[in-house]
Amino acid sequence: MRIVVIGAGGVGGLLAGLLARAGTDVALVARGAQLEALRREGLSIDSPLGSFRVRVPAEADPGALAPADAVIVAVKAWQVASVAPTLAPLVAKGGVVVPMQNGVEAADRLAAALGPERVAGGTINVLAWIAAPGRVQHLGGPPRIALGERGAPGSPRLEALAAALCAAVAEAEVTADIDVATWDKFLFVEPWGVVGAASRAPIGVMRTVPETRALLERAMREVDALARARGVRLPAETVASALRRMEAVPIDATVSMQRDLGAGRPSELDDQAGAVVRLARDAGVPAPVHDALYAALVPQERAARGDLRPFART
């Protein structure tokens, strides 16, 4: 199987590195300092799964790479709409494009640009980030990946991709209901990100300060109610399970949206908290926690994107 990973950040870089180490035919689409470092020094992975360096072919233009059986889209959620139209030449006949974003709208955006038959659903749970150009830092266990066709029960092409990922030391499975897996992850990571950005605290603080923990749980319950209003069959214990999983996360851990907002970079605020506000309004579901937190954070997002004059940060 030939695989191309779009985006060489924490998720994309880690997956490409693990796949390359396992001998898979894999290439990356990257840009800027990351692309320069990949070409000059290769890709360095620092992980509990092993620290190593590999050479992975990398290009800025997707059209410069040979077509692939699977295209894993690992850019930020807000970049999907602009990247999607450039991917058509990369998809081999019968190939599949799989999103690995934190939001719940990436697959629809890819399908609108590429055609629904070329796009499946996907989600990944992993803690990884760019420590320096060409170097990815990973904490915790193996990446946990769920793959699923949109509206179809099984898929040989996704089974092949899952097998390649498992051989690379990821935990990957094909699920019959990818919407459940996608919203389960969204319920875990989105409240963490938006409450973390507002509190400017790592998970260890958020889960031990009673007021902040209560806010986190209320945000989770809003996402849970929204998913159910949209017909997603989440298990009854989804919120309780998410809170239990939070207890196992390293105390100083943060998520990418929180880190980006804190550093004054464009973030996934509009694709995570903003999506909850927008979709809840459309579904007639109240989401007062998200309404307030999104309104409080959106000036920082607009400033990071140059839509507001930069302001002092404390």
CA pair distance 255, 265, nearest whole angstrom: 14
- Phi then psi for 55, rounded to 5 degrees? -100, 125
- Phi then psi for 17, rounded to 5 degrees? -65, -45
The enclosing H or E element of 44 equals strand 43-46
Residue 151: predicted pLDDT? 79
CA pair distance 2, 19, nearest whole angstrom: 10
CA pair distance 240, 242, nearest whole angstrom: 5
Q: Which residue has the tokens 């699977």?
A: 70
Residue 313: predicted pLDDT? 55
Mean pLDDT, consecutive 10-residue stretches, the chain (314 aa), reads 96 98 98 96 97 97 96 96 95 96 95 96 94 95 95 86 97 95 97 97 97 98 98 97 94 93 96 98 98 97 84 54
Which residues have CB under 8 Å from 145's CB, separation 6+? 100, 122, 123, 124, 125, 162, 165, 170, 171, 172, 173
DSSP state of 118: G
Whether the CB-CB separation of 114 and 84 falls below 8 Å is answered with: yes
Burial class (CB in 10 A: 0-12, 13-18, 19+), 313: exposed
DSSP state of 148: E
Q: Which residue has the tokens 């990815």?
A: 136
Which residue segments constitute the domains of the chain, with CATH numbers given? 2-176 (3.40.50.720), 180-304 (1.10.1040.10)
